Amino acid sequence: METTAQFSIPPGLTDLLEEFVVKCIQENPSDLVEFAADYFDMLRLGRKKKESKAGKESAASKPEKKETVEDKEEVQEPPKIPARGRRRAVAAEAYNPNENDTEVKCVVHPKTDEQLQRLKKSVENILLFKSCDRDQLKEILNAMFERKVSPEDEIIRQGADGDNFYVIDNGVFDVFIEKDGKELKVHTFKDEGSFGELALMYNCPRNATIIAKSEGSIWALDQSTFRRIVVGAAARRRQMYEALLENVPMLKELQAYERMNLADALETKIFDDGQCIIRQNDEADCMYFIEAGTVRVTVSDKEISRLTKGAYFGEVALVTKNPRSASVFAEGEAKCAVLNVDAFERLLGPCMDIMKRNITHYEEQRKALGLE
């Protein structure tokens, strides 16, 4: 007899906890409770600042979907998923993002074009994959394997050891937790979603049971690949951005934890030689920090400056809430970290006075060039 649901998961809870777990793994705090208190206090403060601004929501960045699976690496058969009630020992150590992964053999499960397209669609909104670059995402797609499920198939069992991370292709899946000797249904996935990451991140037992309630299909990623790429990518990404931000004079006004949050909000984009990054008079939706390369700033087709690594641009229109006052082009290949308007308003409040002073400097430059 099916258990009547007595709990419901609040909207956004899964994403919130995923982000917090990743930060815990990256920081490895000695006092988890104190770290959690500081983290959620800053999250609440950021929300209050955001709500006080006019801009509310901005469109989420679309992940790139260009890579195809190649069969150059070692091909392996899909691992067998443990049967109902079976437990398997896991002895994984905490992942060190600075370890050398060059000796690791990549796992590859060949897929048809049809399978690959379904898989790409299933993972395009998975938060945990946002930190991965194109090569890492390609390796993840290569390593994932498909499993068809039938009604009442048990995917994971509460208390069992973690082996795989799962992404739903299609189907209905119920989530149960055991409380006071009874299994209570707390959530239902329908044709989308992911689960199983917490046991792999923490190297701890599963915290829920998930059972298929219909015919369906799921994609699985083994623990070793998940930890090496997904957890490692998040840690390396933060280290890279923090190193970049430490060399931006304007950001000296930020506290260390504020720069940490800023680093987490950045996303890298690469621009080809001559490509227009910002066009004069367009609406503004982000600002940029240069990671590598050079960009050329022009006003009415007249070059006014060139910027290199560590410089930033695009903030003027966000501060003034006016259209772009200049165009910016890549001079050779340019690699930039992008901060969208929502994160800009939420995270760069302490730097606003500096940016306003810089705007005065820009206006003086324009006057000197006769560009009023």
**Residues of each annotated binding site for 3',5'-cyclic AMP:** 197, 206, 315, 324
Say how far apart CA 257 and CA 141 lie, in whole Å: 33
Our measurement of the distance from residue 25's CA atom to the centroid of its chain's CA atoms, rounded to an integer in Å, reads 14
233, 131 in Cβ contact below 8 A?
yes
Would you say 268 and 59 are in contact if contact means Cβ atoms under 8 Å apart? no
- The residues near 285 (Cβ < 8 Å, ≥ 6 apart) are 58, 340, 341
DSSP 350: G
Q: Report the alpha-carbon distance of residue 193 to residue 188 in Å, rounded.
A: 10
**Residues of each annotated binding site:** 197, 206, 315, 324
- Count Cβ atoms below 10 Å from residue 16 Cβ, excluding itself: 13
| Cβ density class 76-111: b for 16+ within 10 Å, e for less | eeeeebbeeeeeeeeeeeebebeeeeeeeebbbbeb
Helix 232-246 and helix 13-27, axial crossing angle in degrees, nearest 10: 70
Please state at what angle helix 13-27 crosses helix 32-51, rounded to 10 degrees. Answer: 130
For 193-218, b where at least 16 C-beta lie within 10 A, e where not — what string?
bbbbbbbbbebeebebbbbbbeebbb
